[in-house]
Amino acid sequence: MTMKYTEDHEWVRAEGGEATIGISPYAAEQLGDVVYVELPDLGKSYKAGDEAATVESVKAASEVYSPVSGEITAVNDALEGNPALVNESADGEGWFFKIKLANEGELAKLMDEAAYKEFVAGLE
Amino acid sequence: MRYLPLTADDRSAMLDVIGASSIDELFKDVPEAARLAVPIDLPPFAGELEVERRLSAMAAKNISAGSVPFFVGAGAYRHHVPATVDHLIQRSEFLTAYTPYQPEISQGTTQALFEFQTQVALITGMDVANASMYDGSTACSEAVMMAFRLTKRKKAVLSGTLHPHYRSVVETMEKYDADEENLTIFCPYSADGKEDLASQIDEDTACVVVQNPSFFGNARDLTALADAVHAKGALLIVVVPEVVSLGLMKSPGEMGADIVVGEGQSIGNALSFGGPYLGLFATRQKFVRQMPGRLSGETQDANGKRGYVLTLSTREQHIRREKATSNICTNSGLCCLAFTVHMALLGEAGFTRLAKLNHQSAVKTAEALEGISGVEILTDAFFNEFTIRLPKPATEVIEALAAKGVIGGLPVSRLVPGDASLGDLLVVASTETNTDADRAAFAAALREVLQ
Amino acid sequence: MNRQGRPTSAGAPSPSAAPETFSGSRGLEQDEPLLFEIGRDGMTGVDLPAPDEALNSRLGGLDREGAIGLPGVSEPEVVRHFVRLSQKNYSIDAGLYPLGSCTMKHNPRLNEKMARLPGFGDIHPLQPASTVQGALELMEELAHWLTTITGMPGVALSPKAGAHGELCGLMAIRAALDARGEARTRVLVPESAHGTNPATAAACGYEVGTIPVTEEGRVDVAALRESLGPDVAAIMVTNPNTCGLFERDIIEIAEAIHEVGGYFYCDGANLNAIMGRVRPGDLGVDAMHINLHKTFSTPHGGGGPGAGPVVLSEALTPFAPLPFVRRAGDGFELVEDESQVKGEQPFGRLVAFHGQMGMFVRALSYMLSHGGDGLRQAAEDAVLSANYILASLQDVMTPSFEGPCMHEALFDDRFLEGTGVTTLDFAKAMIDEGYHPMTMYFPLVVHGAMLIEPTESESKESVDRFIRTMRGLTQKAKEGDTERFSGAPYFAPRARLNETGAARKPILRYTPPEASAQAAE
């Protein structure tokens, strides 16, 4: 299982041809209390970099881009009734959607955990 | 100068603290070429009495609606506003308060907005309403844009009997919007207001916009149209120009509207030559996050007390910037409060009675006019406004009536100048402010003019 | 003889014995439920004549069946309800608003009286033009004052608010480019701009390019030049800018955009600083909206109505939208339709009817009262007062840029570093001191921004008291008295409100308890 990150603060957890995607704890903290998440439709296909979801807090609304290409196989319905999960467990229960990887090679272009930590440190 | 509290001594003391020798030093960043060497060419300051004289002289050149028999509507209606309304909205804490961004010291505003939103949702028969928009026409164009966003389709079908100004606003907004493929289609109609909207709808239609009562005054049941619109996966936007009609007529919500917009001026607000007015905007619960404009929501404070705050503002421009749902920053604050106060005074019993009186006023006016030879009433079912066909061009008739001290209605050709077939049509409104004497004067003058 | 009487001395103070009240009110601070919670069936606050039951209906059978659900209340209850609500609001009549960018100046009541003259308030927009010549004259007079103050040849009066005016300006620019046969795609906006600027540009179909701001708080002209090209339709610059500073290079900026054939849109929110001393027309501006509710004292009314007329250059005036007033013989006519134009090329119509007449009357009343000399004095006093505040607070708070400032002074939260107090906490503590907070977290170019604009309406005593308060609060923050700030406000009608909860589960209308219980089933 590989955990990768993008410069837009999305994380990707890939396992057996399927990837789970969410936003990093850092991003969740920057947003503040999440009030609403708009998730993609099941079965819809995205290319890496396409806007797939939106996450809203009281003070900001942000696009969430799919880091990889593929078809949506699952969305986290729990976020509808409990958007706070994104703040409580951004890289766990606060996941956004799962995608069937169209091209595993895309993962290589993303940052690993150490590189992402360095990236975030550079922002502050 | 009575509005400027600083004295010469104050100014001098302040300059000392700043460390500047003159006010000019504080303007040093202005490029030399741009500094005005001479005062601008405008008259000097004036006392209240002088200002009153000046402005009263201008006002005296206008014929106020209350001073003559008056029958113009077409999107703005003359109603009686109780004295309490104007008194309450001029309280300092309402009149001179800022937008409620600091809710702890703005509960007066946020609670009143919450009450307004509830009143609008109730009268339109919808789930939720916003805290008002600039006016009915901009609310209408915002509804069209919301429909484009929700359906991701490109066509908006506009009823031919939509107020011509509203049509013009929607077309202007669509012409300059970000999506070049969006387009509006204007449905053909006949002078009696009949049109075939259902035939204009297809799979690429985002919405159908229909006014009820129409620009010509037709009151219609839109249920069948709503079904036809929904069958194609599109949204029905109903425009209500005369909010008092909602006190007597079946609500747009009951008829199947997805978005209801309207002009709220009739309740609590003077005619004021066209502004400030207030746009009403209501929709279904499932569309709430796509609704433009300000919203007041209920919540609790740190001590558990109920309170109200502006909410869902991430859709607005000051946060989303390029991705905002609209560029609207303002609601109609005080006009909205006037509406809320007037509606509070009316209540269910008063609002429904007011509506009935309006309809009856129009019925009596129609009866007074249809007896005149050459005058034909084209509108079968109406609320407080109807269209008559005259044997002469309507603009001529209106000018002649004005010379006789009667303001008889709106010549359709003023708003639709391109169509000769409409040249003899006059739209007549009649509210609870019109008396039998008004009607008699109107009828008598019209008879004379048509001889 | 009355031997009993009643005690008249105050007695010993016992502050901690203040009880919980039964009513929920505390002295003059009245708790007030919703209208829907006090209303009852059949009650009304208006006496209307009974309808004629014998009269035929011509409504076509479209009568509503079933109740609407509006509450019924008597007139005394309505008055009490709204008076109590009003008492929970802060207002400019009651205190200073140091709100940068908002220009919260005094709202003269003369303006209200004038707007309510029947000759202005009780006229319909669609009456024959011959019956409203005074209204058209007023619009022309207002146009004259606006164009003279700004040094611009034309003005579009119809936009209903500042943001609406921005839309008007950008549409005029797009129309002008269309007329030249050029379809440009980009609009440049400084990173310090108010959110409406990029939102408006995007709404008009433009790609928004951001120009950085220099360390001196001004537009980076070099970066601007690099971004300019034949694809740029316009730049949108606020001047004085959102950092409260005059753009020294403004003429160069205007020349640069004109060189590539683009237009200069100026956000006129800060016009209050320069009236009578600088004319935007002399700076090369092509379109500028004016906020009548800021610069010209029309009341904020708790959020509106506003008015945003747009002054236009020679190049853009032909494209001003419908309607507009034109001289006709001895009087005036209203040009409302394309068929009436004489060479003008209006880009369309932005709003039904003719604009915010009620606000025009108020603004003109204000302008006539001040006169050219008064307006200039107002601008000077506004700038003086802001610099006085800057000079008086710069040793304890952290100004973001070197002065002099214009009519507003920008500070950031560096002075709060290490105190545990944020800009937000500081603002809430100001509420306890009896002040509406200053503009916070705007502009975005500095951290924890605090933008302070006193306006010319404040006496020196008022400004001094404000300065003393800000110094006191700053001192407390640095001393580590965090509770004073984190728990504020303590003295307002409500403590801090849960905005997260409001956005997660929006409750946007009243629902009667039985109905919501039913819905839950």
Per-residue pLDDT tens for B34-48? 999 899 999 999 999
Is A15 in CB contact (< 8 Å) with chain C? no
Residue B405 has a pLDDT of 96
How far is A35 from chain C, CA to nearest CA, in Å? 4
Structurally, how many domains does chain C consist of?
2
Q: In chain B, which residues have their Cβ closer than 8 Å to the Cβ of C160?
A: 134-135, 138, 275-276, 330
Residue B315 has a pLDDT of 63
Is the CB of C504 less than 8 angstroms away from the CB of A56? no
Residue B195 has a pLDDT of 87
How far is A58 from chain B, CA to nearest CA, in Å? 7
Q: What CATH number should be reported for the domain holding residue C336?
A: 3.40.640.10
Residue B137 has a pLDDT of 97
Residue C7 has a pLDDT of 76
User: Which of C310, C339, C366 corresponds to the end of one domain?
Assistant: C366
CB C95 within 8 A of CB B36: no
Full residue range of the structural domain in which residue B437 is found: 67-80+348-450
Q: In chain A, which residues have their Cβ closer than 8 Å to the Cβ of B323?
A: 61, 63
Question: For residue B118, what is the nearest residue in chain C, using CA coordinates?
Answer: C509
A107 in a structural domain: no
Structurally, how many domains does chain A consist of?
1
Is the CB of A61 less than 8 angstroms away from the CB of B289? no
User: Which of B342, B367, B396 corresponds to the end of one domain?
Assistant: B342
Looking at residues B220-224, what average pLDDT do you find?
96
A114 in a structural domain: no
* Domain identity same for C194 and C118: yes
Chains interfacing with A (3 or more CB pairs < 8 Å): B, C
Residue C493 has a pLDDT of 95
CB B299 within 8 A of CB C497: yes
Q: In chain B, which residues have their Cβ closer than 8 Å to the Cβ of C111?
A: none
Residue C26 has a pLDDT of 87
C209 in a structural domain: yes
- d(CA B389, CA C32) in angstroms, rounded, equals 53
Residues 6 or more apart from B47 whose CB is under 8 A from it? B2, C369
The dihedral of CA C382, C385, C391, C392: what is its sign? negative
Residue B329 has a pLDDT of 58
* Domain identity same for B408 and B422: yes
How far is A37 from chain B, CA to nearest CA, in Å? 11
* Domain identity same for C181 and C319: yes
C264 three-state secondary structure: strand
Full residue range of the structural domain in which residue C423 is found: 408-495
Residue B330 has a pLDDT of 76
C48 in a structural domain: no
B319 pLDDT more than 60:
no
Nearest-CA neighbor of C401 among C244, C283, C511?
Answer: C244
Query: B46-76: b or e for each residue (b if 16 or more CB lie within 10 Å)?
Result: bebeebbebbeebbebbbbbeebbbbbbbbb
Per-residue pLDDT tens for B169-220? 999 999 988 787 788 888 888 767 788 898 999 999 999 999 999 999 999 9
- d(CA B130, CA C95) in angstroms, rounded, equals 29
Question: For residue A34, what is the nearest residue in chain B, using CA coordinates?
Answer: B314
Residue C24 has a pLDDT of 83
How far is B413 from chain C, CA to nearest CA, in Å? 11
* Domain identity same for C197 and C121: yes
pLDDT band at B327; cut points 50, 70, 90: low
Find which of B149, B309, B314 to mutate to test the A interface (most A CBs within 10 Å of its CB). B314
* Domain identity same for B136 and B256: yes
* Domain identity same for C133 and C186: yes
Is A107 in CB contact (< 8 Å) with chain C? no
Residue B317 has a pLDDT of 47
* Domain identity same for C136 and C240: yes
Q: In chain B, which residues have their Cβ closer than 8 Å to the Cβ of A36?
A: 289
Residues in chain C, pLDDT under 70: 13-15, 515-521
Q: How many other CB atoms are there within 10 angstroms of residue C79's CB atom?
A: 18
User: Which of B342, B361, B376 corresponds to the end of one domain?
Assistant: B342
* Domain identity same for C145 and C268: yes
* Domain identity same for B110 and B72: no
C423 to B70, B313, B328, C499: CA distances (angstroms): 56, 20, 27, 17
Question: For residue C137, what is the nearest residue in chain B, using CA coordinates?
Answer: B58
A51 in a structural domain: yes
How far is A60 from chain B, CA to nearest CA, in Å? 6
Task: Record the pTM.
Answer: 0.95
Is the CB of B329 less than 8 angstroms away from the CB of C62? no
Is the CB of B323 less than 8 angstroms away from the CB of A36? no
* Domain identity same for B230 and B375: no
C481 in a structural domain: yes
Full residue range of the structural domain in which residue A88 is found: 2-101
* Domain identity same for B111 and B218: yes
Q: What CATH number should be reported for the domain holding residue A63?
A: 2.40.50.100
Q: In chain A, which residues have their Cβ closer than 8 Å to the Cβ of C504?
A: 33, 35-36, 83-84
